Structure 1
Amino acid sequence: MSAALPADTVAAPRARKAFIPLECNPELMTRLVHDLGLSSRFGFVDVYSISDPDLLAFVPRPALALLLVFPVSESYENARLEEDATLEDWNKKGEEEDPMWFKQTIRNACGMMGVLHAVANGARELIRPDTPLSRLLDRTRPLGRLDRARALEESDELEVAHKHAATQGDSAVPNAEDEVELHYVCFTKSAKNGHLYELDGRRKGPLDRGQLGEEDDVLCDKAAAVVQSFIDREKQSGRLDFSLVALTPTFD
């Protein structure tokens, strides 16, 4: 699973604001969340396999969240539209909301949305007080989905941190208005009900992907099977441009 420059599908509507696509680079993403306020004891690492025990052994556990980068293909779009047609728009907020979900209205911001979903749910208790992350989450948690999306658009701290990270990667820096065909989704485990959730700002809300065991993290077999379903869907087309990173403890 190699690094990629993910963002939104070419079919996405034009947003009021656009971000430079964020490279799927665990070192860059770790610096980003540390700058925003996450504890330095946690960061992102590459996941090179979801089935090989030897490669999985290199990933510190527990894995608190996964960020998957995948091609936005016709088969994916068809599956997304079919499932979304059966769902209502997410209307939870505040203490009743679990997991916390952000609607994406910023163009090419799916990388930042994935990072926000990862830390707001998988690592909420690990955010330092009086930091950009803590202030952003405190401000947006009581808001409905549209006001919350607007608050992200208006956050200067978020925009500055994202721009700094997006221009520091190993790949050529794309333009914020570029059309790209890769996308991020986040997977986290609910602390309240133990379910695995797929979090994607392009969807209608969080997607419940089933119950996990009490001791399971987001790299357990059940969670890996959900990730594998994205890969299996693209086997017919031969698309192999997937990347996977995990939010985990860091060890010196």
Structure 2
Amino acid sequence: MASTEQVKIDPHGTSVAPAATKPKHFIPLGSNPNSGTTIAENNPEVMSTLLHKLGLSPTLQFHDVFSIDDPDLLAFVPRPAYALLLVFPVSDTYEKFRHAEDKDLPEYEGSGAGEKVVWYKQTIRNACGLMGLLHGVSNGPARAFVQGGSQLDKLIEEAVPLKPRQRAELVEHSDALESAHAEAAVIGDTAAPAAEDDVDLHYVCFVKSEKDGHLYEMDGRRKGPLDRGTLDAEEDVLSETALNKGVRAFLKREEEAGGGELRFSLIVLAQSLD
């Protein structure tokens, strides 16, 4: 697990805030009462409710992914899968990998309609779940399911032409996002932590770009979107290729490092079952 000092220096989103400015805090989204863990932000009902309130069509919702290796369990997940969200403890292994990979990467400055993906830099503490949601619905086929004129549609439309810093400010100053997030954070059977509490769990989102067909790892803590490679036209974010380039690569690093704790949770955005 990341040290207390590391979390304070580079917590889930505050590393990009000016040192003299107290970063904005959100209450972490609730844990899943149906799971056997207390991993925050993995409740598909909470995530779906939040996005539906903001303007995502109810024809899409989040679903639990109980296994990435058992074909029978994967068969229960509707396809195509538009966005895959991974929740995991921030381990020393992950932090070392993150810093090593980011070391030689430039700060992302993309904007406009020509972007391969729409990426949001995170400046709000404890908002990694929200950032995962925004990445999931701002990219790929899911964008078409955002209802025109909704708060979510307006935010994405405003975000596209902006540079990452201005996008971060747009998200930070959105009353609609803050209100919907606050309501979602208290849904469920588990008491929500305080906004100021340090949370050692983090969220990343995997999406498939409609521009180049590549799998992208979207994480507001990083320097920008991470291109994990090409997917075939028929492959989605739950395909074998995508899992090997994304979630399985993450799990392999953790296992090889012998970190011990391999708590993680997956939910996927796909067609509703109702």
Give the equivalent residue in structure 1 for 2:26: 19
Q: Deviations over 1:31-53 (max 9, x none)?
A: 11111101110010000111110
Give the equivalent residue in structure 2 for 1:229: 249
Aligned-residue sequence identity (percent) comes to 56
Give the equivalent residue in structure 1 for 2:139: 121
Which ranges of 4 or more aligned residues in structure 1 deviate by more than 6 Å?
Answer: none
Q: Secondary structure at the match of 2:113?
A: helix
Q: CA deviation at 1:138?
A: 1.2
Give the equivalent residue in structure 1 for 2:189: 170
Q: Secondary structure at the match of 1:184?
A: strand
Give the equivalent residue in structure 1 for 2:229: 210
Are positions 1:243 and 2:265 aligned together? yes
Q: How many residues are matched?
A: 245
Q: TM-score, normalised by structure 1?
A: 0.94
Give the equivalent residue in structure 1 for 2:158: 139
Q: Secondary structure at the match of 1:137?
A: helix
Q: Secondary structure at the match of 2:139?
A: helix
Q: Deviations over 1:129-185 (max 9, x none)?
A: 111101111111111110110111110000000000011133221011111111000
Are positions 1:72 and 2:79 aligned together? no
Q: TM-score, normalised by structure 2?
A: 0.87
Q: Deviations over 1:116-141 (max 9, x none)?
A: 00011131111101111011111111
Give the equivalent residue in structure 2 for 1:157: 176
Q: CA deviation at 1:10?
A: 4.7
Give the equivalent residue in structure 2 for 1:4: none
C-alpha contact (below 8 Å) 1:10/1:180 kept by paired residues: no
Report the AA paired with residue 121 of structure 1.
N
Aligned CA-pair RMSD: 1.3
Q: CA deviation at 1:234?
A: 2.1
Q: Deviations over 1:28-85 (max 9, x none)?
A: 1111111110111001000011111000000000000000001111110000000001
